[in-house]
Amino acid sequence: MPFSLLPMALSLVTIALIGLGEELLRHQWLFTLTGLVVFAVAITFDSKDRHRQLRWSDCGFWLHLLASPLIVHGVMTTLIFSDAPVLNALGNEILLIGFFIVFMLLALLVDRRAMLVSSSSYGIYAIFMLLENSLISTENLPLVVFIGFGLFIIFFGTFWYRLRSIIFRPLTGTAIARLVPDFNGK
């Protein structure tokens, strides 16, 4: 059963993280590292079923569902709580939004909407932090952010295949294209 890969992979990730013996709150990058490993395995499954008709892609789906929050949490918490002068000079909120956009493009590339779910809460957080210091009235800020973010997600979901085709069609015939579904849209 494809779903069984999720608890098995989660168990392996948990064992690996505990086995490292590091204090996870101080080493958030370990979440990203394990997430990238699970993501690579998910892409391996996806590449065996680029037309999404067999169980291989179902297996990939469940692994993406685990990999995405691991990657996002590790990167986002590192950016939010970093004391690095380089990151602070660039503005953590801008970096958070930049990461959200890159992760959204990655989800579009591998054709997995489920990846967006794990990053949306951090995207909303980054927008809140960015707008909180602007001229927008703070009493209406949550409403504005949630409506704007909701409209963006609806737009992005509605035009998913068209955007995917427009953005990634130049990659047709490359090594990356052999790992993901075709870019021709539906």
- The first and second tokens of residue 8, run together, are 């098995």
pLDDT value of residue 46 = 92
Could you read off the pLDDT of 13-59 as tens digits, one per residue? 988 888 877 676 677 888 899 999 999 999 999 999 888 888 998 99
Locate the domains of the chain by residue range: 2-178
Terminal Cα-to-Cα distance of the chain (whole angstroms): 28
Kindly report the pTM of this predicted structure. 0.81
Question: What single string gives the DSSP state of each residue in 151-163?
Answer: HHHHHHHHTHHHH
pLDDT value of residue 162 = 92
Could you read off the pLDDT of 128-153 as tens digits, one per residue? 766 666 655 566 667 777 778 778 88
pLDDT value of residue 85 = 65
d(CA 101, CA 119): 10
d(CA 56, CA 27): 33
pLDDT value of residue 88 = 61
Ramachandran assignment for 112, one of left (phi > 0), alpha (psi -120 to 50 degrees), beta (any other): beta
Between 80 and 57, the more confident residue is 57
